[in-house]
Amino acid sequence: MTKKNSKYLIFALLYIAYCILYVDRAAMNIALTSIGKDFGLNASQSGLVLSAFYISYAFIQVPGGWLSDKFGSKVVIIISILMWSVFTMFTGFSWSFTSLLIIRFMFGIGEGPYTAASLSETSEVFDYRDRSKATSSMLSSNYVGSAIAPIIVAPLIIALGWRATFHIIGILGIAFVAIYYLTVRPIRKSKVISDDKKINKKVDWKGILTSKMVWQFIIIALGISMVNKGLDSWMPTYLLKVRDINIKSISYLVPLPFIGAGIGAFSSGWIMDRFFKNKEKLIIALSSLLTMIFVFEMYNAESLASVIIFEVITYFFKSITFASTYALFSKIITQDNYGSSIGLLNFGSQMAGFISPLAMGFLVDMFNGSYNAAFLFLVFSVGVAFVVSLTLNSNEIRKKSKNAEKFEIETI
């Protein structure tokens, strides 16, 4: 197999694994109404179940990125997929609210390292000039997996119940581990590093943590991810309880926004390179502003059709914001710090997964079942991302991009 074919095979396998990850994750969002009925959960407790996953998922991001830099991405990817698949199966064995919280917390630890490891491996097999497009294309898998999830999960819940559903999709992940292990070689070991670079392989944590621009990216990722995690977690329940659709309809309606999001994420790297070269911050600012506008329109929508239309448009623009943020970040980070830096960015992004579902559940309870305050919370969050995106320094971005490209050339 040629090197070119090999990198596309690796990309395809990582993409499929990402899709499985999001099927496993979205299964809880879809099954939450059934689980809540069995365990007698209120909205705040349901939000805590969702947030239990995200708090562990967020805090494992930085260690996961460091492990990828230290031991290579393949080992981390295999352990991550295996662990999250096992705890997906265990979700089906939960017997109480407390057991569910513990299992979902461990599920988050299993999934956490995958993002940094998969993006790190993507950066290893694709040249610097293709890295932003490869990164944004890889992130489109998040939305493809989320779109597929209702089509798979909802019929399984109807036919077999939520417990058997978690068992089946857990087994699917374990089977994929065997395929990945037998197919992909340890790419990191094949990279040739110059003698100068071998002398110091320590991660420059001081440089990363004291960088103003890194924290700007973290805040942008956090703000846009509030919308991402909030809607991913609560829209199925909102449609079931407030818009009075049945779980069968979920399998048709819920995928639509993710299809729009997948298109947005897949195309964002190309759009950024083609139309926003040397002014990349503008695509992040513009798409975050449009996201804010359409979340507000979704909040104001009266008919179910209007809600779905505005949700699709919201997902399209917020996925452009999210993927462009990661794609631009990947261009300014040197390869030796890549996994750790992406892990830190993921930490900021995934903290939204803890904050947003919990805050929205609390607001729904506070306002007696109304989702109005919860939607306005999302409008405010993405507004913060928009404001911070305007503060990015384009000259500093170009400088860091040149340094990263120079490092790439010197290490080959």
pLDDT on residue 150: 79
pLDDT tens per residue, range 114-142: 877 887 787 777 776 777 677 777 877 87
CB atoms closer than 10 angstroms to residue 145:
24
Once rounded to an integer, what is the mean pLDDT over residues 222-232?
A: 87
Per the model's pLDDT, the better-predicted residue between 388 and 399 turns out to be 388
Q: Is the pLDDT at 378 greater than 90, yes or no?
A: yes
What are the DSSP E strand ranges found in 295-399?
Answer: none
Q: How far is CA 376 from the centre of its chain?
A: 22
CA-to-CA dists, residue 405 to 8, 199, 368, 408, angstroms: 22, 20, 54, 5
Per the model's pLDDT, the better-predicted residue between 392 and 276 turns out to be 392
Q: How far apart are CA 120 and CA 377, in angstroms?
A: 33
Once rounded to an integer, what is the mean pLDDT over residues 56-79?
A: 80
pLDDT tens per residue, range 312-343: 899 999 988 988 888 888 777 766 666 677 77
The pTM for the full model equals 0.70
Per the CB < 8 A criterion, the answer to whether 194 and 410 are in contact is yes
Q: Is the pLDDT at 49 greater than 70, yes or no?
A: yes
Using DSSP, state whether 244 is helix, strand or coil.
Answer: coil
Structural domains of the chain, with CATH? 3-187+203-410 (1.20.1250.20)
**Which helix (H) or strand (E) element contains residue 50?**
helix 43-59
pLDDT tens per residue, range 161-209: 889 999 998 998 899 988 888 887 554 444 444 444 443 456 666 777 7
What angle in degrees, to the nearest 10, is found between the helix axes of 97-125 and 304-332?
50
**Which helix (H) or strand (E) element contains residue 242?**
none
Percentage of the chain modeled with pLDDT above 70: 87
Q: Is the pLDDT at 288 greater than 90, yes or no?
A: yes
Taking only Cα atoms into account, the Rg of the chain, rounded to an integer number of angstroms, comes to 20
Q: Report the chain's terminal Cα–Cα distance, integer Å.
A: 21
pLDDT on residue 289: 95
Query: What's the one-letter identity of residue 253?
Result: L
**Which helix (H) or strand (E) element contains residue 412?**
none
CA dihedral 110, 118, 141, 319 (to 10 degrees): 100
